[in-house]
Structure 1
Amino acid sequence: MNSTNPKTYEPAPSRKVAFLGLGVMGYPMAGHLALAGHSVTAYNRTATKSIAWCAEYTGAGAPKHASTPREAAEGAEIVFCCVGNDDDLRGVTMGKDGAFAGMQPGAIFVDHTTASADVARELYAAAQALKLQFVDAPVSGGQAGAQNGGLTVMCGGDAPAFDAVKPTGMAFSKAFTLMGASGAGQLTKMVNQICIAGLVQGLSEAIAFGQKAGLDMNQVLEVIGKGAAQSWQLDNRGKTMVADKFDFGFAVDWMRKDLGLVLDEAKNNGARLPVTALVDQFYADVQALGGQRWDTSSLIKRLR
């Protein structure tokens, strides 16, 4: 069991839950559920990962691993999920081995994948037809947020389902908020990614400019970080960008996937996103430099 867990858990009723997808985010999120006293059955496409997860958290109860999403979901009150994209999400929910086939009427599926609003609405309707409940609940806070249990969760769906899930979801969250009807969580995450794209590009240009001007950029960042230029990105990525270090979890490939969702949605709703579209192409430049797995602050590499 993880002995360095920094999280203090609020009292909540113990639930029988499943967690599908033990990647960079899902692995620690599922761990927090176990440490908070919930009975967790885990599923991962690569079974060795779920076996290792059970071994790590065995002191937090009796975690189990399942060979299919359906098996993991059987008997669960809540099924949490964090996978890669729309197709991955359909793969773990639908079909004879999908979670929906194993869930009992009234059970709630909570999807933490950053996916399209369309797939959220599609699966919400499919769940309703099976007398299940579905909440789209993408997260912000990155790998560090997942590890320390401090994620921000943006939810779309029905209020009763949200209210039933929130006390359990707070095991890995600092904020768990209903934003509106099905799809609203995904749309809110798109707003988040639009903000981050512009912020990181601005920070990249500022640091590159300051270095060209011969300034001590670590000192500059300390000074401007106390004023109106302060942001999470400046506080957490500014000095690592100066140091040319880009191994902090949220990869360029993932950001391009997210911005693709944003730009597709903008085509549907008519929003104009000139800066976001430009930064998406800048991230394509970073990929061409070999930076597919560098973190998003590596935008500065194309300016050097």
Structure 2
Amino acid sequence: MAKITFLGLGVMGYPMAGHLAAAGHEVTVFNRTTAKAEAWAKQHGGNFAPTPALAAKGADFVISCVGNDDDLRAVCTGPDGAFQSMAEGAIFVDHTTVSAAVTRELYAIAAETGIGFVDAPVSGGQAGAENGALSVMCGGDQDKYDVAEPIMQVYAKVCRRLGENGAGQLTKMVNQICIAGVVQGLSEALHFAEKAGLDGEAVIETISAGAAGSWQMQNRYKTMLADEYDHGFAVDWMRKDLGICLDTADENGASLPMTALVDQFYKDVQKLGGNRWDTSSLLKRLRHMG
């Protein structure tokens, strides 16, 4: 069993760290809100520390799942960052969705002190984290990935290395581009069905078994029809992710017209007060428009 530090106990990190403890690993957690770290330690029998550096001391693996580029830099290289206390040969695994640029930056800093760095963003949402069924997209050195993979498999449905450092984050961008288009298409379809006087639930139950079926359709159509969005992946976070996609597309020359359009639709949702609504709230925007 490994000695593991987990940094960030949000809706994803909290259950992910719990799976590691349940698997028998020695887990120490850190969270900006210490009370949440204390609660996790009490529930799962692990330890908590007041700073990333103290949490990471002596760890074989340090795993992060925080908010954005700045949050990741802070827990890695900030005044009390984990890199300060990590031993040579230890491996840092980052599950945050961030830019490939910050991933490459931190990979280089880690390498200078003999620390391994694997970028490993995840997909599957809160339910996937709670059920231990996440899709984990990884980038980094093959030997470091090989050592870290058994740890990640504890909460993964699929875990795969896609290439060198940054490849995991680039793959997560592909994932988010796909989701943006699917959710917009589903929203327009349900809106159309309502305007046509059809029974939306009956329609989806019929077409979901065919070529139109998707994870979003299966898992979100009922709450969308009920106009319920206080769950799931927040619009604010999706706009953060799509911003990363669009910035990267400017760098590599990719054309993302649909992604850019849906990003603006999410901006409209934010104007409706939906910053923390689920990404399926694109339907609410259409209903609001009439």
Q: Which residue of 2 aligns with 1:116?
A: 99
> In structure 2, what is the Cα distance between the partners aligned to 1:129 and 1:149?
33
Q: Which residue of 1 aligns with 2:74?
A: 91
> In structure 2, what is the Cα distance between the partners aligned to 1:249 and 1:109?
27
Q: Which residue of 2 aligns with 1:278?
A: 261
Q: Which residue of 2 aligns with 1:202?
A: 185
> In structure 1, what is the Cα distance between the partners aligned to 2:178 and 2:145?
26
1:22 aligns with 2:9: yes
Match of 2:169 among 186, 211, 219: 186
1:156 aligns with 2:139: yes
Q: Which residue of 2 aligns with 1:3?
A: none
- The answer as to whether partners of 1:221 and 1:239 remain within 8 angstroms in 2 is no
Please state how far the C-alpha of 1:79 moved relative to its aligned partner. 0.4
1:31 aligns with 2:54: no
> In structure 2, what is the Cα distance between the partners aligned to 1:78 and 1:91?
18
> In structure 2, what is the Cα distance between the partners aligned to 1:262 and 1:231?
22
> In structure 2, what is the Cα distance between the partners aligned to 1:286 and 1:96?
37
Please state how far the C-alpha of 1:238 moved relative to its aligned partner. 1.3
1:105 aligns with 2:88: yes
Please state how far the C-alpha of 1:95 moved relative to its aligned partner. 3.5
Please state how far the C-alpha of 1:225 moved relative to its aligned partner. 0.4
Q: Which residue of 1 aligns with 2:208?
A: 225
Aligned amino acid, residue 151 of structure 1 = L
Please state how far the C-alpha of 1:247 moved relative to its aligned partner. 2.1
Map of 1:1-304 to 2, 5 A cutoff?
A: 14-58=1-45, 63-304=46-287
> In structure 2, what is the Cα distance between the partners aligned to 1:69 and 1:208?
47
Please state how far the C-alpha of 1:171 moved relative to its aligned partner. 1.1
SS for the counterpart of 1:154 is strand
Please state how far the C-alpha of 1:245 moved relative to its aligned partner. 1.1
TM-score (ref. length: structure 2): 0.98
SS for the counterpart of 1:281 is helix
Aligned amino acid, residue 223 of structure 1 = T
SS for the counterpart of 2:137 is strand
Gaps of 5+ in 2: none
> In structure 2, what is the Cα distance between the partners aligned to 1:170 and 1:297?
29
Please state how far the C-alpha of 1:248 moved relative to its aligned partner. 2.4
> In structure 2, what is the Cα distance between the partners aligned to 1:75 and 1:139?
26
Gaps of 5+ in 1: 1-13
SS for the counterpart of 1:110 is strand
SS for the counterpart of 2:258 is helix
> In structure 2, what is the Cα distance between the partners aligned to 1:204 and 1:20?
35
- The answer as to whether partners of 1:194 and 1:259 remain within 8 angstroms in 2 is yes
Please state how far the C-alpha of 1:119 moved relative to its aligned partner. 0.5
